[in-house]
Amino acid sequence: MKNFLKIFLVLFFSLLSNIQAYACDALNIEIGTKINKVTNYLDFIQEDLLIESDDEDSEEFETTFKFRSFTERYCPKMGLENTSISIFVYDSKVAGIQLETWDPKIKKNKIYEYVKNYIGEMEKIVEEDDNWVGHQDLSTGGRVIYYTKYKDYGEIYELLDISNEEYVDFTLQEEVEEMIF
């Protein structure tokens, strides 16, 4: 009986501690991490394409690079098969992470379901109205987290942006250069 109780408690606390994680390594990267520490499991980030510059006066030094790939490849079995993942890189560090709907005509609300299950609750209007568009600020624990639904060409897309206060501006600026996968 004591062994059963020990096993139960170990399993219970293991599951409880995993709920707070963002459920896959790619979405659990600490913002500000040096890019060379994540390229071993995020192989779509091509370090050799980043501009290494010691010249702080260089305009290229201010560039943020956005690398994109299919989320399912890096977060399997998370229900995100119809999304892309983007990693923003500034000054050779992870500046932000973004999930985006790939095809709005199939598997709708996958990012919403992910957010609800792994990040937190949203306002009722988001859940009750499939045609709702807008954004929700879900920031917590030093992370800046925005969930957005927007309409483009008559279709509704979802976005999830994750960053922190130090780096969020580098994911929004005009100097974001998208690297095609």
- Tell me the pLDDT tens digit for each residue of 163-172: 999 999 999 8
Does 133 reside within a domain?
yes
17 pLDDT above the threshold of 50: no
Mean pLDDT taken over the chain: 80
Closest-CA residue to 73 (of 65, 83, 62, 63): 83
| Residue 10 included in any domain | no
Cα-to-chain-centroid distance, residue 81: 14
pLDDT at 29 over 60: yes
**Residue 7 forms part of a structural domain:** no
pLDDT at 47 over 80: no
The mean pLDDT value for 40-68 works out to 70
pLDDT at 181: 59
Q: Are strands 93-101 and 155-164 parallel, antiparallel or unpaired?
A: antiparallel
Highest mean pLDDT among 8-12, 59-63, 74-78, 160-164: 160-164
Report the half-sphere exposure of 9 (CA within 13 A, side-chain side). 6
pLDDT of residue 21: 44
Domain region containing 107? 23-179
Whole-angstrom distance, CA of residue 21 vs CA of residue 26: 11
Percent of the residues in the chain that have a pLDDT greater than 90, as a whole number: 40
The answer to whether residue 49 sits within a structural domain is: yes
Task: Look at 177 and 165; give whichever has higher pLDDT.
Answer: 165
Count how many domains the chain has: 1
Q: Above 90 in pLDDT, residue 176?
A: no
Kindly state whether residue 5 falls inside one of the protein's structural domains: no
**Confidence (pLDDT) at 11:** 42
pLDDT tens column, 62-106: 789 999 999 999 999 898 989 999 999 999 999 999 999 988 888
Which residue has 């979405």 as its token pair? Answer: 27
| Cβ contact 107:81 at 8 Å | yes
Measured in whole angstroms, the distance separating CA 162 from the mean position of its chain's CA atoms is 5
Q: Comparing 158 with 10, which gets the higher pLDDT?
A: 158
Per-residue pLDDT at 138: 93
In a domain, 162, yes or no: yes
